[in-house]
Amino acid sequence: MPSELDLMRAGQLYNSTAAELVKMRATAKQKVYRYNQTAPEANALRAQILQELIDCPSRDAYIEVPFRMDYGSNVHIGANFYANYDSIFLDIAPITIGDNVMLGPRVSLYTAGHPLVASVRNEFLEYGHPITIGNNVWIGGNAVICPGVTIGDNTVIGAGAIVTKDMPVNSLIVGNPAHVLRSLTAADEQYWQAEKQRYLAARNQ
């Protein structure tokens, strides 16, 4: 017979009050609490706690305090990750994040789902679907990424967007529900490279 943890990891209905899951969440909450109580200058301690909590092989993820996370063990992060204040990771299912990803303040990644009918939902049965975020993605403040969503490489999610379905690569995404406003093209690359050169020239004056 599969355990509630097995069912959760398989994306099936599971009982969130199972003792094993309650214990796992309690352990994660203790680590999140310790992280959020660190002094501003305690960068090394925060890095140590975060490495105990999540999977980040490059060991260079940075998450501003405060933040929230259910399990931590279901969060997989690539190199050069940054999350601004008040980020939320509901990692019932895996959250997989590529390299060079930035989250604005109060970005929420929700893998958790609940039955639409109250008769089942009220029995503490729920499920989770994974979230996957590609490389070089920027997600603006207060955006919400819903269960089961994949975001393609080099995509920008505008502030306040509610992303309910998969989003393509090289796109600017906005709105509620979120949609593709336009593609990011060579013209964008040329414009921002020119802006960088203008910045460098000003620095060298």
Question: What single-letter amino acid sits at 19?
Answer: A
**Measured CA angle at 145 (ends 132, 81), to 5 deg:** 55
Report yes or no: 147 and 109 within 8 Å, Cβ to Cβ: no
Is-catalytic flag, 179? Answer: no
Taking the C-alpha atoms of residue 140 and residue 123, their distance in angstroms, rounded to an integer, is 35
Alpha carbons 136 and 112: distance in angstroms, whole number = 25
Q: Which of 76, 114, 129, 179 is catalytic?
A: 114
- Within 8 A by CB and 6+ apart from 75, the residues are 53, 54, 55, 69, 89, 91, 94, 95, 97
Cα 151 → chain centroid: 11
- Which amino acid is it at 195? E
Q: Which helix (H) or strand (E) holds 35?
A: helix 19-36
Q: What CA–CA distance (Å, rounded) separates 169 from 187?
A: 16
* Cis status of the peptide bond prior to 177, with omega within 30 of 0: yes
Question: Which residue numbers are catalytic?
Answer: 114
